[in-house]
Amino acid sequence: MDIKNSVVLVTGANRGIGEAFVKALSDAGASRIYATARNIDSLKEIVAISSTSIIPLELDITNLEQIAQVAELAQDVNLLINNAGVGSGGGFFKSNSVEMARWEMETNYFGSLYMIRAFAPILKQNGGGAIANILSIASVINMPMFGSYSASKAALHSLTQGVRAELAAQGTLVVGVFPGPVDTDMGKQVPLDKVPPSQIALSTLQAIEQGIEDVSPDATSQQVFASIQQDAKALEKQFATLLPQ
Residue 173 lies in a domain: yes
Residue 118 lies in a domain: yes
Residue 245 lies in a domain: no
Given a contact cutoff of 8 angstroms between Cβ atoms, the answer to whether 74 and 97 are in contact is no
- Whole-prediction pTM: 0.95
Residue 94 lies in a domain: yes
**Domain membership of residue 107 as a residue range:** 7-240
Count up the domains in the chain and report the number. Answer: 1
Using alpha carbons, select from 116, 217, 194, 100 the residue that is nearest to residue 149: 100
Looking up residue 215, the CATH number of its domain turns out to be 3.40.50.720
Residue 25 lies in a domain: yes
pLDDT digits (tens, 9 = 90+) for 169-199: 999 999 999 999 998 766 556 666 779 999 9
Residue 105 lies in a domain: yes
pLDDT digits (tens, 9 = 90+) for 131-162: 999 999 999 999 998 999 999 999 999 999 99
Residue 1 lies in a domain: no
User: CA-to-CA distance for 101 and 1, rounded, in angstroms?
Assistant: 36
Residue 93 lies in a domain: yes
